[in-house]
């Protein structure tokens, strides 16, 4: 390689470029949504209504959580899922109830659709003894292991190998369950993903590795932190792969159901990129200077909840009044959860030493 | 109903925010999700979003104003609504104490919760019942340098550990008179040119046997610990002089100590107690034994109901009992039933000493001499009077803090003799 | 002297060294466009451009190792970890490579890299974001470990770290970034690595405290002073090499010592300091050396449990009273 003039050298990300004149820079390019109606996807009217209620719950829960955080009711991190609700909802409807789910720290939505009640979720955020993780985990560590939600994990990429372990145990025990792992686009750059993809393909583990590509790794656009198409990572390992429109709950449901069936039948892993968009900052202290208001508004105009609501009304699945009643009920449930969390006690001091070891009186060094 | 909009927490480390810009003015209508202002936090400029719709009825801080976390910044409600009560109740102060008083609260919370979890006790590896002398490395080194026998030093640290202070005190008062270890005092002097007293055997008297038995038992079976307090005697000296000059009444300092002890004992019943194996008896009456030195040994006549007696009665009764003791005419009744003992070696110039507990008492008070010491008053060095008393306590009954409380009461009483009248 | 925030003091040190030495560059997650997750590198991209201020993907192992290789090959990288809790992913590069390459090659290759970022807990961030790693890294030969508590120290030691020809870990705290203090603006202001400082004189007990715990020790000392107990506070500033002499001289004066350390108790900094005092100043001790550390338990999220978990002034005060026999 010829020597370059020193002034020419730059380590700016190669993916960085200005949008076309007049156009809006997009976080992610969405593949087309499915054209199928709910009946042909095998979904009943009631199931569609339930999907709506679930997504609406996730949204209202997090909006109230954000308000409580800003009021100083709890501290630490708060990574909101708002905008991505179709991913969790579509997936959970596509999986069997005993299939395993594990995710990263943006975990509230996953918890709510896998059995964590708004009360125990809000109480966890508040660090109360009544929280789903007894107040010890907080926002990043919602978990409901009984219902096969193994929790949210705080180290980027750290839980990906764990998902392969869940899948390994399922195959070992021949229990018919599959394991699904969700992580952000930032985690794609972690070595752990690549080691795990190789292991999973090597041993044909019944697992689905899903990138929830919301366009940003913290404040860095996906286009600026990783090269080529994310989904193409699968090719290097000979792994089956797909790209899904994550702003449409039917598209997520349709594809995830197909993939889950395939994994269950053949015991072979999949690598899936679900493209979606988070409306809020990475965490509560993120001023979001890295993107424009116009970009955000573009995605909000295709909001998955509004999209499903329009579909429900158009198809006459529920009336406007029916939906209003559902929404009001959820709003009240979330407000009740806030009151519950606020009034719940903090954990007993002795809880500090609980859950460290299996033994009843374990050794602690002093 | 009107809703208060408070300064939100927009970063985890934020304590206050500065209003960078208002996007709304009073009278504007807003709906949930609208950005009403921009706020500069310690990290960045952030949007302030409202979670409820309505009309902006009031904007409190102007642009550029700093508002603490939770401080009132605006009120939203129905147009025309009366918001005076909301404004009165909140002068911009924080409404949620958990947010704004973070640092002071942190200290508070640890204060209330720490005990269960932290810090092994320092002395947990120094418990030993083998009679080994426990002394800090520094105390050992000082003792060696100054030739002090640690056997003769009472430790004031945990589990009786001898610490620097203890050896220093010991060296002040006794170092010169002590022989170095390894040079036993009983070695016969062989040089004939010195006239010396003849060694002789002394028959152990009945009284010595009793003293030996009782005090050995006490010292070996009761875990003693010692606490010394220094008492300002200026007021007591003045009071005594006053009594003598104005009223021609003679009381001794020891009488004052006995009286003050009685009052202090009635206030700290745990000190006025006895170990009875299964139970601890905290005595209702205060009967104080006063150690009286006689040729053959030591007697401890008992002054009964001291707390109920005046100084004059105590004084005359003490003199009478001491006289009987020296004449060996005390009746058994006059020597029994004590609940506390006082031993005073002040008249011999002993600055301070530790006494062995007189069973079945829980404690004994050892009283030292009144010393003339320079003290600083109003910035000038002036002559002062001090007296040290040391309380030996049976640790099975009395703990360090209890003993200290008693000593503090005693000191307050002696330093303020008038308070004994109360 | 100028009054600067802790984050500004570090930035000034980096900025000055970047102007002085073209081989110095900054790399890490969000250091460039975002101006640093905690704004330590604010403005550096504008000043030095994409060649010397480089955003990385979330690939700690990769970019830490890249820093090691670049250092071996003539550059002087400053690698930022968003927190040392994430540096665990890069521990192989730090422990197995940065510290060992010079030795393994018989001295042929040097590795003048600085790894920096916040260490230990910063409020309720949960179990995986709250660990103090200074003691752990100090265990490995070949590393210098700095964990500072005040802006001036941060500046002087950061400049030393960048100029040092060995791998250096420079640790900060999220909760100290906003802390203001007088910072020297002398040309070439340097604080040598391995020199501690007596930050408060006292005769009754020595407190050894560094990083965030230094500030807790100051609070405790202020409380104790009201009761007539005067603490001498030593901030070692550098964990390794440790300024043992400074600590020993103080202990010889006060005859007692409390080590305050935001690590778990087993085999940590507090244990090491306690051992050294025992070995070198045994005859000067009038009480056992005590330590105030985290319990042997993971960080809980809940505020009530977190406050119980993190050492506070009360624990130091209790320990001081224990050794002063009060």
pLDDT category, C3, cuts 50, 70, 90? Answer: very high
Q: Do B107 and C319 touch (CB under 8 A)?
A: no
Q: Do C309 and A352 touch (CB under 8 A)?
A: yes
In this structure, are strands C144-147 and C168-172 parallel, antiparallel, or unpaired? parallel
How do the pLDDT tens digits run along chain A, 366 residues long? 556 676 678 888 765 444 445 555 567 889 999 999 999 999 999 999 999 999 999 999 999 999 999 999 999 999 999 999 999 999 999 999 999 999 999 999 999 999 999 999 999 999 999 999 999 999 999 999 999 999 999 999 999 999 999 999 999 999 999 999 999 999 999 999 999 999 999 999 999 999 999 988 888 888 888 888 999 999 999 999 999 999 999 999 999 999 999 999 999 999 999 999 998 888 877 888 888 888 888 888 899 999 999 999 999 999 999 999 999 999 999 999 999 999 999 999 999 999 999 998 899 998
CATH entry, B3-113, from 1.10.1060.10, 3.40.50.300, 2.40.50.140, 2.40.50.100: 2.40.50.100
> Closest residue of B to A352, CA-based?
B117
pLDDT of residue B108: 37
> Closest residue of B to A348, CA-based?
B113
Q: CB under 8 Å to A284, separation ≥6 — which residues?
A: A66, A69, A70, A77, A78, B9, B10, B11, B12
Please report where in the chains the tokens 């009983």 appear, as a residue: B186
Q: Do B96 and A72 touch (CB under 8 A)?
A: yes
pLDDT of residue B1: 73
Question: Residue A174 in 3-state DSSP?
Answer: coil
Residues of C137-165 as b/e, b for ≥16 C-beta within 10 angstroms?
bbebeebbbbbbbbbbbbbbbbbbbbbbe
pLDDT category, B196, cuts 50, 70, 90? Answer: low
- Residue A139: closest CA among A151, A129, A157: A151
> Closest residue of C to A8, CA-based?
C51
Our CA-based measurement puts residue B356 at a distance from the nearest CA of chain A, in whole angstroms, of: 37
**What does the pLDDT look like over C152-193, one tens digit per residue?**
999 999 999 999 999 999 999 999 999 999 999 898 899 999
Centre a 10 Å sphere on the Cβ of residue A168 and count the other Cβ atoms it contains. Answer: 17
B139 vs C286, C288, C308: nearest CB? C286
* Dihedral pair phi/psi, residue C263, rounded to 5°: -125, 175
> What's the distance, Cα to Cα, between the start and end of chain B in Å?
62
Question: Residue A50 in 3-state DSSP?
Answer: helix
Check if A21 contacts C (Cβ < 8 Å). no
Q: Do C304 and B141 touch (CB under 8 A)?
A: no
User: What fold characterizes domain B223-421?
Assistant: Chloramphenicol Acetyltransferase (3.30.559)
Angle at A135 between CA A131 and CA A141, to 5 degrees: 90
Predicted-complex ipTM score = 0.88
**What does the pLDDT look like over B22-40, one tens digit per residue?**
999 999 999 888 889 998 8
- Whether A134 is covered by a domain: the verdict is no
Of A287, A352, A354, A357, which to mutate for an interface test with C (greatest number of C Cβ within 10 Å)?
A352
pLDDT of residue B375: 86
**What does the pLDDT look like over C271-315, one tens digit per residue?**
999 999 999 999 999 999 999 999 999 999 999 999 999 999 999
Q: Say which CATH number the domain at A99 has.
A: 3.40.50.970
Distance, CA of A340 to CA of A321 (rounded, Å): 28
Residue A55: is it exposed, middle or buried by C-beta count within 10 angstroms (0-12/13-18/19+)? Answer: buried
pLDDT of residue B363: 95
Check if A76 contacts C (Cβ < 8 Å). yes
Query: What chains are in contact with C, requiring at least 3 Cβ pairs below 8 Å?
Result: A, B
CA dihedral (A359, A360, A362, A364) in degrees, to 10, reads 140
**What does the pLDDT look like over C21-55, one tens digit per residue?**
999 999 999 999 899 999 999 999 999 999 999 99
Q: Do C325 and B156 touch (CB under 8 A)?
A: yes
> What's the distance, Cα to Cα, between the start and end of chain C in Å?
41
Share of chain B above pLDDT 70, in %: 83
In what order do the strands lie in the sheet containing A270-275? A149-153, A100-104, A179-184, A207-213, A270-275, A240-245
Q: Which two three-digit tokens encode residue B44?
A: 């960045």
pLDDT category, C241, cuts 50, 70, 90? Answer: very high
* Dihedral pair phi/psi, residue A103, rounded to 5°: -145, 180
Q: Domains in chain A: how many in total?
A: 1
Cβ–Cβ < 8 Å for C235, C197: yes
pLDDT of residue B98: 41
Domains of chain C: 2-183 (3.40.50.970), 197-323 (3.40.50.920)
Distance, CA of B386 to CA of B372 (rounded, Å): 7
0.95 cut: is pTM over it?
A: no
**What does the pLDDT look like over C81-98, one tens digit per residue?**
999 999 999 999 999 999
User: What fold characterizes domain B133-171?
Assistant: Dihydrolipoamide Transferase (4.10.320)
Check if C188 contacts A (Cβ < 8 Å). no
Q: Which two three-digit tokens encode residue C288?
A: 């056992």
Check if B50 contacts A (Cβ < 8 Å). no
**What does the pLDDT look like over B254-304, one tens digit per residue?**
999 999 999 999 999 999 999 888 888 899 899 999 998 887 788 889 999
pLDDT of residue B182: 40
Distance, CA of C17 to CA of C112 (rounded, Å): 14
Domain hosting residue A99, numbered range: 32-48+75-116+146-323
Q: At what angle do helices C313-323 and C212-226 cross, to 10 degrees?
A: 60
Exposure of A355 in the CB half-sphere (CA atoms within 13 A): 13
The count of residues in chain A is: 366
- Whether A342 is covered by a domain: the verdict is no
Q: CA dist A107 to A122, A188, B267, B312, C83, Å?
A: 13, 18, 62, 83, 21
Query: Which residues of C fall within a CB distance of 8 Å from B158?
Result: 322, 325
pLDDT of residue A147: 97
**What does the pLDDT look like over A219-265, one tens digit per residue?**
888 888 888 899 999 999 999 999 999 999 999 999 999 999 999 99
pLDDT of residue B95: 39
In this structure, are strands C257-260 and C205-209 parallel, antiparallel, or unpaired? parallel
Q: Which two three-digit tokens encode residue C325?
A: 């026999």
Question: Residue A330 in 3-state DSSP?
Answer: helix
CATH 4.10.320.10 positions along chain B are 133-171
Q: What would the 3-class secondary structure string for C68-88 be?
A: HHHHHCCCEEEEECCCCCCHH
pLDDT of residue A25: 58
Distance, CA of C157 to CA of C146 (rounded, Å): 8
Beta bridge partners of B382: B375
pLDDT of residue B191: 43
Distance, CA of A209 to CA of A200 (rounded, Å): 10
- Whether A56 is covered by a domain: the verdict is no
């Amino acid at each position: 390689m010829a020597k370059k003039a020193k002034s020419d050298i730059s380590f700016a990300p190669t993916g960085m470029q200005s949008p076309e004149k007049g156009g809006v820079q997009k976080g992610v390019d969405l593949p087309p949504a499915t054209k199928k109606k709910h009946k042909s996807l095998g979904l009943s009217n009631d199931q569609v209504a339930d999907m709506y209620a679930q997504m609406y719950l996730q949204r209202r829960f997090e909006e109230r959580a954000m308000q409580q955080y800003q009021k100083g009711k709890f501290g630490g991190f708060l990574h909101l899922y708002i905008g991505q609700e179709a991913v969790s909802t579509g997936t959970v409807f596509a999986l069997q109830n005993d299939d395993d789910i594990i995710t990263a720290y943006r975990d509230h939505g996953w918890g709510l659709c896998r059995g964590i009640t708004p009360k125990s979720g809000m109480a966890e955020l508040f660090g109360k003894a009544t929280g789903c993780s007894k107040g010890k985990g907080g926002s990043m560590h919602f978990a409901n292991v009984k219902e096969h939600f193994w929790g949210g994990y705080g180290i980027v990429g750290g839980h990906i190998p764990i998902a392969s372990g869940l899948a390994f145990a399922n195959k070992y025990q021949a229990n018919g369950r599959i394991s699904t792992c969700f992580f952000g686009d930032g985690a794609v750059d972690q070595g752990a993903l690549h080691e795990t993809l190789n292991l999973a393909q090597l041993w044909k583990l019944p697992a689905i590795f899903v990138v929830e590509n919301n366009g940003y790794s913290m404040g860095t656009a996906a286009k600026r932190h990783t090269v080529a198409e994310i989904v193409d990572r699968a090719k290097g390992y000979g792994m089956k792969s797909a790209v899904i429109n994550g702003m449409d709950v039917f598209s997520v449901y349709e594809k995830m159901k197909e993939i889950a069936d395939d994994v269950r039948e053949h015991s072979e892993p999949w690598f899936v990129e679900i493209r979606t968009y988070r409306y809020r900052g990475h965490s509560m202290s993120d001023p979001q200077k890295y993107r424009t208001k116009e970009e955000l508004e573009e995605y909000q105009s295709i909001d998955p909840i509004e999209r499903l609501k329009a579909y429900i009304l158009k198809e006459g699945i529920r009336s406007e009044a029916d939906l209003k009643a559902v929404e009001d009920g959820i709003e009240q449930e979330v407000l009740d959860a806030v009151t519950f969390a606020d009034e719940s006690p903090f954990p007993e001091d002795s809880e500090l030493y609980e859950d460290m070891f299996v033994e009843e009186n374990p050794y602690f060094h002093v | 109903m009107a809703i208060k909009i408070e300064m939100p927490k927009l970063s985890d480390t934020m304590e206050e925010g500065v209003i960078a810009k208002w996007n709304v003015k009073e009278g504007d209508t807003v709906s949930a999700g609208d950005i009403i202002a921009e706020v500069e936090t310690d990290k960045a400029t952030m949007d302030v979003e409202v979670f409820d719709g309505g009309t902006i009825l009031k904007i409190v801080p102007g642009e550029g104003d700093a508002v603490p976390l939770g401080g009132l910044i605006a009120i939203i409600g129905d147009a025309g609504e009366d918001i005076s009560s909301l404004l009165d109740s909140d002068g911009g102060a924080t409404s949620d104490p958990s947010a704004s008083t973070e640092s002071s609260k942190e200290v508070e919370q640890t204060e209330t919760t720490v005990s269960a979890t932290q810090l092994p006790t320092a002395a947990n590896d120094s418990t030993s019942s083998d009679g080994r002398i426990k002394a800090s490395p520094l105390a050992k080194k000082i003792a060696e340098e100054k030739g002090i026998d640690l056997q003769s030093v009472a430790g004031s640290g945990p589990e009786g550990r001898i610490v620097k202070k203890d050896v220093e005190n010991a060296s002040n008062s006794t170092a010169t008179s002590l022989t170095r270890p390894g040079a036993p005092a009983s070695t016969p002097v062989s040089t004939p040119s010195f006239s010396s007293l003849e060694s002789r055997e002394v028959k152990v008297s009945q009284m010595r046997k009793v003293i030996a038995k009782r005090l050995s038992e006490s010292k070996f079976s009761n875990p003693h610990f010692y606490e010394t307090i220094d008492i300002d005697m200026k007021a007591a000296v003045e009071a005594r002089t006053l009594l003598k000059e104005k009223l021609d009444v003679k009381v001794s300092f020891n009488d004052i100590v006995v009286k003050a002890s009685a009052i202090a004992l009635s206030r700290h019943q745990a000190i006025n107690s006895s170990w009875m194996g299964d139970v601890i008896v905290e005595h209702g009456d205060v009967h104080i034994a006063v150690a009286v030195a006689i040729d053959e040994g030591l007697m401890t006549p008992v002054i009964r109901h001291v707390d109920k007696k005046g100084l004059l009665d105590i004084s005359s009764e003490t003199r009478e009992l001491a006289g009987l003791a020296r004449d060996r005419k005390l009746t058994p009744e006059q020597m029994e039933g004590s609940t506390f003992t006082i031993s005073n070696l002040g008249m011999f110039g002993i600055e301070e000493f530790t006494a062995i507990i007189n069973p079945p008492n829980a404690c004994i008070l050892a009283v030292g001499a009144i010393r003339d010491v320079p003290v600083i008053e109003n910035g000038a060095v002036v002559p002062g009077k001090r007296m040290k008393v040391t309380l030996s306590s049976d640790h099975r009954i009395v703990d360090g803090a209890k003993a200290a409380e008693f000593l503090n009461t005693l000191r307050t009483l002696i330093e303020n003799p008038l308070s004994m009248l109360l | 002297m100028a009054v600067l925030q802790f984050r500004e003091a570090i930035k000034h040190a980096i900025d000055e060294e970047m102007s002085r030495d073209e081989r110095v560059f900054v790399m890490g997650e969000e250091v460039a466009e975002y101006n640093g997750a905690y704004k330590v590198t604010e403005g550096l991209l504008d000043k030095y451009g994409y060649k010397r201020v480089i955003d990385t993907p979330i690939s700690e192992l990769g970019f830490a190792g890249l820093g090691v290789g670049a250092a071996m090959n003539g550059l002087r990288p400053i690698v930022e970890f968003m927190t040392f809790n994430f540096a665990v992913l890069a521990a192989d590069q730090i422990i197995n490579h940065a510290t060992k390459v010079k030795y393994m090659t018989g001295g042929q290759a040097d590795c003048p890299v600085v790894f920096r970022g916040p260490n230990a807990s910063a409020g309720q961030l949960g179990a995986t974001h709250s660990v103090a790693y200074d003691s752990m890294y100090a265990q490995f030969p070949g590393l210098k470990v700095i964990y500072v508590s005040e802006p001036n120290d941060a500046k002087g030691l950061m400049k030393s770290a960048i100029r040092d020809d060995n791998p250096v870990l420079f640790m900060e705290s999220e909760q100290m970034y906003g802390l203001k203090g007088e910072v020297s603006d002398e040309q070439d202001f340097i604080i040598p690595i391995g020199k501690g400082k007596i930050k408060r004189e006292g005769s009754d007990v020595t407190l050894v405290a560094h990083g965030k715990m230094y500030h807790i020790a100051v609070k405790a000392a202020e409380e104790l002073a009201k009761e007539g107990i005067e603490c001498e506070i030593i901030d070692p500033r550098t964990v390794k090499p440790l300024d043992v002499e400074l600590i020993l001289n103080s202990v010889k004066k006060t005859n007692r010592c409390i080590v305050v350390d935001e690590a778990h108790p087993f085999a940590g900094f507090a244990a090491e300091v306690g051992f050294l005092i025992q070995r070198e100043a045994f005859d000067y001790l009038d009480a056992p050396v005590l330590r105030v550390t985290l319990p042997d338990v993971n960080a809980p999220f809940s505020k009530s449990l977190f406050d119980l978990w993190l050492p506070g002034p009360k624990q130091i005060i209790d320990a001081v009273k224990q050794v002063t026999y009060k």
